[in-house]
Amino acid sequence: MRYRPGQEVRVAARPHVGHHRTPAYLKGKTGTVMRVHPSFLNPESRANGKDGLPKQPLYFVSFQQSDIWPEYRGDPADRLYVDVFEHWLDDAG
Amino acid sequence: MSSYGHDHENHEHPHESLTDSGEPAAAARVRALVDLLVEKGVVESQDVREQIDWLVSRSPGDGARLVARAWVDPEFKQRLLADARAAALELGLDPGPSPVVVALENTETVHHMVVCTLCSCYPRALLGPPPDWYKDFPYRSRAVADPRGVLDEFGVHLDEGVELRVVDSTADIRYLVIPRRPAGTEALREEELAALVTRDSMIGVSIPAPSPIAA
Amino acid sequence: MERAVHDRGGWPTDAPIDRSEHELDDWEILMDSLLGALEKRSAVNVDEFRRGIESMSPSAYEAATYYERWLYSVETILTEKGVLTPGELDARLAK
């Protein structure tokens, strides 16, 4: 897999037509890999009846809430953790 | 894809229009669909029956057992944090079809809250079906953007300096919160501790009380 | 960033959380179980199912109840795959 815990990654901001599991609010945002999950079948191709191979690594990525929401009301330490597939991430380091 | 469109702000649970029988039209349609698919051999009645039996057997009591065991057995807790699926199997519980279940531990400094903004992903095998509010738009929208506002509505006020960590279940992983053991429960047996662990505390919108809440 | 109607994280709303709950009706349990059976038989996979829900028009998605969306999706995907012929279920209900 391409990314390691502690690595800064940016979520791709590309528009996507069709089923995908990267929320709009996250696109273009930068976070930190906290955990590398196992790899899973690609939901985008599975959604079209394909076999979903090759499996894609999945990452547990942590974001600072105030980076995501301009008007975030909360503690500066608050975080948002999201599972993101490798093909939606770029190195931000 | 449009921008935000018109928002059904005051329409938290849309209601099916009811037929004369008092049932939504969808009810008869679902039954007819099942019959049709069984006739066509796409599914067997037995398949559907097994799924029904499984679904109605699910309850938050299973998740509560995992939490209570973690509270009394620190080594079990470490196993639970490393692999919640295996830990559930250790207790004879069904962790469900999701290949990975992750337990998230609340501590003095971190409080977790789980949501699925895209649909309704939820550790059903260990908690039963999710409550309506978890699946509805206000929670899905606000849990990520205004989690402290959401917790206020649930009556939860976090201590100063506690990091609120919201987890959006977007993929194949299912998340279960391990709430903190309430103070003053040292004398309780494991089964009594399990009775304190509510479904909402394992989602992260509630904090267990030190004694059972009177109905 | 443009978003589809199901992509609700941060969707502007001040709506309070309505904490009232309802026990699942029999037909909802049946719908839920039907999907499970279809997945077990590999007739539909969960990603196709989600795509089916996401294919609803925004107004239909917002007006439907949770399991009505499930029904829409399963009908749509099975019709797409030729397992159901268009109108077949309506005809059956009309009998």
Residue B6's pLDDT is what?
A: 38
For residue B3, what are the contacts with CB-CB under 8 A and spacing of at least 6?
Answer: C2
Give percent above pLDDT 70 in chain B. Answer: 89
Domain architecture of chain A: domains with CATH: 8-91 (2.30.30.50)
Binary contact (A79, B166; C-beta < 8 A): yes
Residue B5 has pLDDT above 60, yes or no: no
Q: B-C interface: how many C-beta pairs under 8 angstroms?
A: 186
Give chain A's radius of gyration (CA, Å). 14
Residue C73: inside a domain: yes
Binary contact (A43, C47; C-beta < 8 A): yes
CATH classification of the domain holding C38? 1.10.472.20
Residue C13: inside a domain: no
Identify the three-state secondary structure at position C4. coil
> What tens digit of pLDDT does each residue of A33-75 get?
999 999 999 999 999 999 999 999 999 999 999 999 999 999 9
Question: Which helix (H) or strand (E) element contains residue B132?
Answer: helix B132-135
Q: How far is C81 from chain B (nearest CA, A)?
A: 12
Q: Are C34 and A51 in contact (CB under 8 A)?
A: no
B158 backbone dihedrals φ, ψ, rounded to 5°: -80, 150
DSSP C20: -
What residue in A sits closest to B168 (Cα-Cα)? A82
Q: For residue B168, list chain A residues with Cβ-Cβ distance below 8 A.
A: 23, 80-83
B57 forms beta bridges with none
Q: Which chains touch A (3 or more CB pairs under 8 A)?
A: B, C
Residue C57: inside a domain: yes
Report the Cα A64 to chain-centroid distance in Å: 14
Picking from B185, B135, B100, the residue whose alpha carbon sits closest to that of residue C69 is B135
The residue segments making up the domain with residue C41 are 27-94
Name the pLDDT band for C2 (thresholds 50, 70, 90): confident
> Could you tell me if B81 lies within 8 Å of chain A, comparing CB atoms?
no
Mean pLDDT across B131-150: 98
Task: Give Cα separations from B126 to B176, B205, C31, C32 (angstroms).
Answer: 9, 17, 20, 17
Residue B8 has pLDDT above 60, yes or no: no
Task: Report, as residue numbers or ranges, the catalytic residues of B.
Answer: 116, 119-121
> What tens digit of pLDDT does each residue of C18-48 get?
999 999 999 999 999 999 999 999 999 999 9
Q: How far is A25 from chain C (nearest CA, A)?
A: 7
CATH annotation of B58-203: 3.90.330.10
> What tens digit of pLDDT does each residue of B17-35 get?
677 677 899 999 999 999 9
User: Rounded distance, CA B139 to CA B146, Å?
Assistant: 9
Q: Give the end-to-end CA distance of chain A in Å, rounded to a whole number.
A: 16
B113 forms beta bridges with B166
Residue B182 has pLDDT above 90, yes or no: yes
Q: For chain C, how many structural domains are there in total?
A: 1
Residue B3's pLDDT is what?
A: 32
Q: Which chains touch C (3 or more CB pairs under 8 A)?
A: A, B
